[in-house]
Structure 1
Amino acid sequence: MSHSTPDTVSEVLARGRLGIPSVVFFVIAAAAPLTVVAAGATTGYAVTGVPGIPVAYLVVAAVLALFAVGFVAMSRRIVNAGAFYTYVTRGLGRPAGVGAAMVALVAYNAMQIGLYGGFGAVLATFLRDQYGLHVTWWVPALIGWAVVAVLGVLRIDLNGKVLAVMLVAECAVALVFDAVMVSHPAGGTVTFGTLAPSHILAAGIGAALVTAITGFVGFEGTVVFSEETRDPRRTVARATYIAVAATGLLYGLSAWAMSVATGPDRIVDAARADGTDLIFNLVSPHLGSGIVTVGRVLFITSLFAALLSFHHTVARYLFALGRERVLPGVLGRTSRRTGAPKVGSVLQSVVAVAVLIAYAAAGADPIVHLFFWVTVTGGLGVLILMTVTSAAVIGFFARIAHGEGWWPAFVAPLLATLTLTGFLAATLREFDILLGVDARSPLRWLLPAAYAIAALVGIGWALILRATRPQVYDAIGLGADSATVLLRRTDSFRQPV
C-alpha cells in the first residue's frame, strides 16, 4: 500500500484577506436582496395567496437568529471551510458528517446552477425591451458562467470588492423603492395589515414561511469563508448576526411596502398579475424612467452576485472534502498565486456548464424548470442542513466541548432544532405548492428524495472509508489538521511490524 504525503501548502486557503465587511458582502450577496425583494416576495404572495409575507420574513429572521446562537458558539471552536459538513461531523459523527457533505454539494450546486436560468432569462428580456436585441436565454447565461468561472479562481478579496459594489447599490435602490411605495399608499393611508401577528396562524402560512426561508439561503456561508478571515472567531459571529438582521429587516420592509402601495387586500392579486415586474410597476409613476432602469439592471447584477457567491461556497466545500481525502485529494489544491481553491472552482464550473447545455438542448423553460424548480429544491437542502446542524451543536457541546453556557450550548440550538424541524415538515407537506405542480405530481417527492439518496451515499462512503482507509476516516472533519493525522497514520504504516 502506497501513501502520498499531503501537500500542506496546497491545502491552505489564502488567510487574512477578508474582514467583517467582506464576509457580510459575500453572504448577503448570496441571499441576493434585490432578487428576493423583486422576485421572492412577489412570488410568495402569488403562490401562497397569503398576505402575511412580511411577517413571515420577520419570523424566519428571528428563528435564524436563534439558530445562529449555537452556530456561532461552535464557530469559535472550529474554523473550517467545510461549514455544515464539519459541524455535523464533530457533533453527530463522521458518517453523518459525510452524509451532510453530500447533501450540501447537491443543495449549493442546485442554488448556484438554478440561478443561471433566472439570470439568463431576465437579462435576455432586458436586452430585448431596452435595446431590441433578441437573444435566447442561454447566451447571456453562458456569458455569465464564463465571468463567474474566471472570478472563481482569482483572489477572494477581489471578489469581495466586486460583490460590495453590487450589494450596496442594490440595497440602496431597494430602500429608495420602499420609500416611494410607502409615501404613495393605496387610498392615501399607510396600513400595517400585512404585519399583523395573526397571520402566523393563518391557513397556508407554512408555505409562506418556507418561501421566506429561501430568501435567507447563503447567510450561513460566514463559516465557509472562516479560514480566509483575519480573525475567524470574531468575524464569523459578527458577520452572521449582521447578515441575518440586515436581510430580515430589508425583506420585511420591502414586502410590507409593496402591500402599502397596492393595499393589503389587493397585494396577492397584484403579485399574480404583475409577477416580478410588480415592484417596478409600482414605483414607475413616481420615479424617472432612468432610476427604474437602474433598478432593473441591479436586479440582474443581484442574480449575478448570488451566482458568484454560491460558486465560491461550492468550491470551498469541495476543497474541504479534498483536503481530507474524502473526495479525491486534487480538490484540496489551491492556487499558489491567488490562494483560491482552483480545482474545486473549475469542477463546479464544469458541472454548471454541463447542466446549462442540457437544459438548452432540451428546450426547457429557464424560469420554471431551472430557476424556480432547481433553486427551490436547493433551498430545501439548506433547510435540511440547518436542521441537522442545530442538532449537531447540541451533540458537540454535550460530548466534546465544555465551558459554554446553557443558552448557546443547549437551549437555543434545541429550540432552533424543533422550530426548523417544523419548517421542514411544512416544506415537505406543501412542496407541490412551492413547485406549482399538481399534488399528485411525482416531482413533489422525487426532488426531495435526491437528498435522501445523497445522504445515504455519503454515509455509505464514510463506512467504506472506515473499513478500507482508516487514516482518511480518522481525518474527517479536522480541516487543516487533517494533514497531520494523515501523515501520522502514514508513518505508522511505514514502521516495521
Structure 2
Amino acid sequence: MAVTAALRAALARAQSADQDGEPVYSPLRGLGRRRLTPIDLLGQSLSTIAPATGMVFIALWMITYSPGYAGLAAIAATTSAVFLVALCITHFTRRLAAAGSLYSFVFQGTGTRSALLVGAALVVGYLGISISVLAQAVPSLLDTISLIGTNVGGPLSTLVVTVLIALTVAWIAVRGVRFATRAILVIESCSLILIIAVMLATRTDTTSTVSLPNQSLSVVPFLAMLTVLSMAGFESAAFFGPEAKRPLITVTRTVLISPIICGLLFVFAAWAAMTGHGATIVGAYFQGTASGASAGVVLAVKIGMTCSWLACTLGCAQAGSRLLYSMGVERVLPSSLARMHRRFRTPYIAVLAFVSVSTVGVLLFSDAVRDDSGSFDGVVEIALVCAYTLVAFASWKFLNRIGEHTAVTRVCTLSVSVAGAGLLVYIILDGAVHGIWALPCAAGALAASGVIWSAILRRVRPESLTAVGAFDSLETADLLPGAGTLLIGDDGRRRLVPDRSAADRDLPEWGE
C-alpha cells in the first residue's frame, strides 16, 4: 500500500512539474484515459454479444430443424474458430491500445487501404447489428408492457418506443462507459441465470411451431453463421484500450475470455435444445402462454430477453462511437466526430451519429429485418468475416515485419486467414445460387471501399492518409519526475531525452 501511495504521489508531481518545452499529448487524449477496470471491459464485451439472446435463438433453430450432434459440432467448431480470431487480435492488443480496434490494428500490418476497408466493414457490421437488435428490442419491450397489464401496439407505439429507446441509449452512452457496463453486466448475468435455470428445470418435447424466416443455407452452415453473428462484438473491448487501466493486459484477457464464455453458453443451449430442456424457454419467448408456459415464466423470460436486446444496442453504440471517434481524430471522417463531452470525456457527436443512423435504419427496415432477415444478416456476416479475416492476415504480416513470429502464431494467423477467405467465397456463391444478389454486391462494394475511400481522401484531404492507425501513446503527463523530457522528432516519433537541468546538477558527496 505504501508503494502504491508513493507511486500515485510521484505521478501527481509529474503532472504538475514544469517541462522543458511544449508538452506532448496522445492523439487520443480526449478520451478519459486509464479509467476502465477488467470488469468494465468484460461488461462491454458481453453487452455487445448479448449471449442470452444468442442462446434462445440457437435453441430455436436446433429444435426446429433437429440437426443433432452435427449442429452441436458446428457450434463448437465455430466457437473454436472465433477463439483463433481472438488470438490473432491479441497480437495487436498486447502491443498497442487504439480506439479504432481492428481498423487501427490492420493498418499496422497491411497499410492504409486495407485499414479503410476494415473500417468500412466494421461500420457496416456494427450498424447492422445495432439495427437488428433494436428492431428486436422494440416489440419485445411492447410485449413485456402488454403482459404487465397495459395493452399497447400499433405503428404509433412502435415509433414512440423506438425513439425513446434510442434517446435512452444515447444518454447512457454519453454519460460514460463505467456508468453503463457494470449495470449491464449485472442485468445480463441475471438474464443468463434465468435462462439457464429454466432450461435445466424444465423438459418437454423438442418440437416447435414457431414461424421462422427463410434462409438459403443448409442447417449446419447456417448454425455456424448464426454462431458467428451471435458472437459478433466479442472484440469490442479493444475499442476501449485508451480508456482501460493496464490496457495491454486487461484488453487482451477480455478479448480471449469473451468468446470462451459465450461459446460454452451456446454449446449448452444447443445441448439443452437437443435433450428437450430448451423448448420451454423458446416457447415462452416466441409464443407466450400459448406454448403452455405459465404467465410468470413468460414475463420473466420477456424481461430478461428485452434487457439483453437493450444491452446489445447500448454495447454497439459505445463501440461504434469509438470507431467513428478514431476516424474523426484522423480526419478520415468529419473531424466533428472527435468532439468530446467536457464532463464525461465521451465522444458525444459520434454517439449521436451512430444512434441516429441506427434508429433511422430500424424505422425504415424493421419489418424486413424481423420477417426476412436472410439477406440482411448475410450482409452483416460478410462485413464481420471480412474484418476478422483481414485482421488475421494483418497480424501475420505485422509479426513477420517485427520478427516475432513463432510456429504457433504462423499456424494460427494463416489458418484463420484461409478459413475466413473460404467462408467469404462460400457465402457469396451460395447467395448467387439462391438469387440473393445483395450478398455478392455487398462483398464487391466492401472489396472496393478501401481503394475508393483512399482515392477520395488523397484528393480531398491527403494529410489524413498519414494519420490513419492512431493509437494511444505516451504523453508528458505520464512521465515520472526526473525521467526526462518527451519530444517529437522530425520523423513524428516520440523520443525521451534526459532533462538538461538534471544532468547539470551536482551530485551530492558521499555522506551528505
Three-state SS of the structure 2 residue aligned to 1:476 is: coil
Any conservation in 2 of the 1:20–1:235 contact (CA below 8 Å)?
A: yes
Spell out the pairing of 1:61-100 with structure 2 (5 A cutoff).
61-100=79-118
Q: 1:395 to 1:7 in 2, by over 3 A?
A: closer
Report the counterpart of residue 505 of structure 2 in structure 1: none
| Rg comparison, structure with higher value | 2
**Is the alpha carbon distance of 1:132 and 1:488 closer, same or farther for their aligned partners in structure 2, counting shifts above 3 Å?**
same
Write the mapping of 1:124-203 to structure 2, written as runs, cut at 5 A: 124-136=142-154, 137-181=158-202, 184=203
In the other structure, the counterpart of 2:371 is 368
CA distance in 1, matches of 2:204, 2:132: 35
* Alpha-carbon separation, structure 1, partners of 2:28 and 2:247: 20
Letter in 1 for 2:179: L
Instruction: Tell me the equivalent position of 1:411.
Output: 411
**Structure 1 partner of 2:389:** 387
Give 5+ residue unaligned stretches, structure 1. Answer: 1-5, 188-201, 433-438, 491-497
Aligned to 2:360: 354
Does the aligned pair in 2 maintain the 1:12–1:480 contact within 8 Å?
A: no
Work out whether 1:238 is the aligned partner of 2:253: yes
How far apart, in 1, do the equivalents of 2:257 and 2:101 lie? 18
Measured in 2, the distance between the counterparts of 1:87 and 1:102 equals 14
> The residue matched to 2:175 in structure 1 has which SS?
coil
Identity %: 19
Question: Are the equivalent residues in 2 in contact too, given 1:17–1:156 (CA < 8 A)?
Answer: no
Cα distance in 1 between the residues matched to 2:290 and 2:94: 46
Contact 2:162 2:359 in 1 (8 A): no
Q: 2:282 aligned with 1:277, yes or no?
A: no
Which residue does 2:244 correspond to in 1? 229
Cα offset, 1:113, TM superposition:
1.5
**Residue 344 (structure 1) aligns with:** 350
* Alignment pair present for 1:219 and 2:225: no
SS of residue matched to 1:290:
helix
| Distance change (3 Å), C-alpha of 1:130 and 1:379 | farther
With 456-465 and 300-309 compared, the bigger mean Cα shift is at: 456-465
Q: Relative to 1, partners in 2 of residues 1:488 and 1:167: Cα closer, same or farther, differing over 3 Å?
A: farther
Q: Which position in structure 2 is the counterpart of 1:50? A: 67
For normalisation by structure 2, the TM-score amounts to 0.78
- 447 and 21 in structure 1: CA distance in 2 versus 1, 3 angstrom threshold: same
**Deviation, structure 1 residue 210:** 1.2
Question: Per-residue CA shift, 1:263-288, capped at 9, x if unaligned?
Answer: 9xxx8xx99x9595379988x66xx6
SS in 2 for 1:17: coil
Residue type of the partner of 1:162? Answer: A
Q: Is the 8 A contact 2:39 2:182 kept in 1?
A: no
- Matched-pair contact (CA < 8 Å) for 1:39–1:275: no
Contact 1:44 1:211 in 2 (8 A): no
Q: Deviations over 1:339-382 (max 9, x none)?
A: 1111111111221232234347xxx456225x665345323311
TM-score under structure 1 normalisation?
0.80
1:450-485 C-alpha deviation (Å, 9 max, x unpaired): 353244233222234346644321111133469999
Which letter maps to 1:70? C
What SS is found at the alignment partner of 1:224?
helix
SS at the partner of 2:67? coil
AA of the residue aligned to 1:303 = W
Structure 2 Cα separation of the partners of residues 53 and 450 of structure 1? 28
How many angstroms does 1:141 deviate by? 2.1
Q: CA deviation at 1:78?
A: 2.2
Q: In structure 1, what is the equivalent of residue 497 of structure 2?
A: none
Contact kept? 2:31, 2:242, Cα under 8 Å = yes
What's the RMSD between the two structures over aligned residues?
A: 3.4
Structure with the higher fraction of residues in helix conformation: 1
Once the two structures are TM-superposed, the CA of residue 412 in structure 1 deviates from its matched residue by: 0.9
1:473 maps to 465
CA deviation string 1:265-316 (max 9, x = no partner): xx8xx99x9595379988x66xx64344212201011000000000111101
Deviation of the 1:39 alpha carbon: 2.4
Corresponding residue of 2:444: 452
Q: 1:398 aligns with which of 393, 397, 400?
A: 400
Q: Secondary structure at the match of 2:239?
A: coil
Report the Cα distance in structure 1 between the residues aligned to 2:99 and 2:449, rounded to whole angstroms. 22
Does 306-315 or 164-173 show the bigger shift?
164-173
- How far apart are the structure 1 equivalents of 2:289 and 2:71? 19
Once residues 419 and 144 of structure 2 are traced to their aligned partners in structure 1, the CA distance between those partners, rounded to angstroms, is 40
Aligned-partner SS, 1:219: coil
Question: Counterparts in 2 of 1:237-316, with a 5 A limit?
Answer: 237-261=252-276, 277=286, 289-316=295-322
Task: In structure 2, give the amino acid aligned to 1:277.
Answer: F
- Cα distance between partner residues in 1 of 2:456 and 2:182: 43
Matched, 1:15 2:33: yes
Structure 1 pair 138–469 and aligned structure 2 pair: CA distance change class (3 A): closer
Change (3 A) 1:331 1:120: same
1:102-125 CA-partner distances (Å, limit 9, x unpaired): 121111111112212111122223
Q: How does 1:96-107 map to 2 (within 5 A)?
A: 96-107=114-125
- The match for 1:463 among 455, 461, 464 is 455
Residues 164-220 of structure 1: CA deviation (Å, up to 9, x unaligned) = 121111111122123214xx4759xxxxxxxxxxxxxx9742222112211111101
> CA contact under 8 A between 2:58 and 2:269: conserved in structure 1?
no
Which residue identity lines up with residue 420 of structure 1 in the other structure?
G
TM-aligned CA distance change 1:486 to 1:49, over 3 Å: farther
Contact 2:27-2:473 at 8 Å conserved across structures = no
Equivalent residue, structure 2, for 1:198: none
Residues 378 and 88 of structure 1, relative CA distance in 2, 3 Å threshold = same
Deviation at 1:127, TM superposition (A): 2.8
Determine the C-alpha separation between the residues in 2 that align with 1:143 and 1:375.
25
Contact map agreement 1:111 1:374 (CA 8 A) in 2: no
The answer to whether the Cα contact below 8 Å between 2:106 and 2:118 also exists between their aligned partners in 1 is yes
- 8 A Cα contact 1:315 1:345, kept in partner: yes
The letter of the residue matching 1:422 is G
CA-CA distance at 1:388 after TM superposition: 1.4
